[in-house]
């Protein structure tokens, strides 16, 4: 049987994670947030006190990442995200993690993978591809509200700068830059609630599943 994969890409804080989790729940599929694989590699380097600028060392850590043990609450730290974005430019790191991600994508009865290069590189044959985006200001506002809701202080302008810097690094790297696959459905959630974005995504996925 052909395996079913839903590929979800887009910039940081566009709402991919929430959408992907809800889609996976709806269809009974396994979900992998591939950003966590880059974060886990970065955390392993930080914990071991190793530098971020050696591709050979980062590759070794990437090969040891266990997909079963990924936990966003442990990997959410800003410092880990920054380091992840730096090692994500290294081709040897990407090769190691992409191989593990592809193996995951073949799980039955189906999978949802979200990240930056799922539709373009990791699973180009995915049955349906979504590119989820929102303006940098809207994404920064959502992140700001989350931090404030958790009782911490936040600086909105600094978050906007951070979102733009991350976009720039993700979209302009040489290996697997963030961009929509040619056959991706674009979903701009700038003006949508989470619920509206989920319903729009579900309509697109239902249509693709019914066709196949
Ligand atoms: O989505 P996130 O913030 O957890 O991702 C952390 C970093 O990992 C991000 O800056 C880009 C990188 N990444 C990537 O290059 N390819 C992916 N498929 C997922 C994440």
For atom 18 of ligand 1, the residue with the nearest CA is: 115
In ligand 1, which atom is closest to the CA atom of 173? 15
For atom 5 of ligand 1, the residue with the nearest CA is: 35
β-bridge partners, 111: 5, 30
146 within domain boundaries: yes
Ligand 1 centroid to Cα of residue 83, in Å, is 10
Which of residues 76, 106, 136 is at a domain's end? 106
- Residue 153 lies in domain: 1-29+109-207
**Percent of the chain, pLDDT > 70?**
99
Q: How confident is the model at residue 85 (pLDDT cuts 50, 70, 90)?
A: confident
Assess whether 22 and 77 both reside in one domain.
Answer: no
For atom 4 of ligand 1, the residue with the nearest CA is: 35
Assess whether 125 and 20 both reside in one domain.
Answer: yes
| Pocket-forming residues, ligand 1, beta carbon under 6 Å | 12, 34-35, 38-39, 81, 84-85, 88, 115-117, 166, 170
Assess whether 185 and 135 both reside in one domain.
Answer: yes
In ligand 1, which atom is closest to the CA atom of 75? 4
2 within domain boundaries: yes
- pLDDT tens for 135-151 read 999 999 999 998 999 99
Assess whether 122 and 200 both reside in one domain.
Answer: yes
Q: How confident is the model at residue 2 (pLDDT cuts 50, 70, 90)?
A: low
What CA–CA distance (Å, rounded) separates 170 from 115?
Answer: 11
The pLDDT assigned to 23 comes to 98
Model's pTM, two decimal places?
0.94
The pLDDT assigned to 78 comes to 86
Residue 113 in contact with residue 8, Cβ under 8 Å? yes
Assess whether 22 and 40 both reside in one domain.
Answer: no
Q: How confident is the model at residue 4 (pLDDT cuts 50, 70, 90)?
A: very high
Nearest alpha-carbon partner for 144 in 134, 154, 152, 135: 154
Ligand 1 centroid to Cα of residue 164, in Å, is 14
Which of residues 57, 75, 106 is at a domain's end? 106
Mean pLDDT of the chain: 94
Query: Which CATH number is 148's domain given?
Result: 3.40.50.300
Q: How confident is the model at residue 57 (pLDDT cuts 50, 70, 90)?
A: very high
Residue 168 in contact with residue 40, Cβ under 8 Å? no
Assess whether 63 and 12 both reside in one domain.
Answer: no
- pLDDT tens for 171-194 read 998 999 999 999 999 999 999 998
Ligand 1 centroid to Cα of residue 37, in Å, is 8
212 within domain boundaries: no
């Amino acid at each position: 049987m052909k395996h079913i994969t839903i590929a979800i890409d887009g910039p940081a804080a566009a709402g991919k994670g929430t959408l992907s989790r809800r889609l996976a729940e709806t269809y009974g599929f396994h979900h992998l947030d591939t950003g966590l694989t880059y974060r886990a590699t970065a955390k392993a380097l930080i914990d071991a006190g190793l530098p971020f600028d050696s591709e050979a060392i980062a590759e070794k850590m990437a090969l040891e990442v266990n997909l079963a043990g990924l936990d966003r609450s442990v990997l959410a730290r800003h410092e880990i995200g920054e380091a992840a974005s730096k090692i994500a430019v290294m081709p040897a790191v990407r090769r190691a993690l992409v191989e593990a991600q592809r193996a995951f994508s073949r799980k039955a009865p189906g999978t949802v993978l979200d990240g930056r290069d799922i539709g373009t590189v990791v699973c180009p044959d995915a049955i349906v591809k979504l590119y989820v985006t929102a303006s940098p200001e809207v994404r920064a506002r959502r992140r700001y509200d989350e931090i404030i809701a958790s009782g911490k202080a936040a600086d909105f302008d600094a978050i906007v700068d951070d979102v733009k810097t991350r976009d720039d690094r993700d979209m302009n790297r040489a290996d697997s830059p963030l961009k929509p696959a040619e056959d991706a459905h674009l979903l701009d959630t700038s003006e949508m609630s989470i619920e509206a974005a989920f319903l729009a995504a579900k309509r697109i996925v239902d249509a693709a599943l019914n066709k196949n």
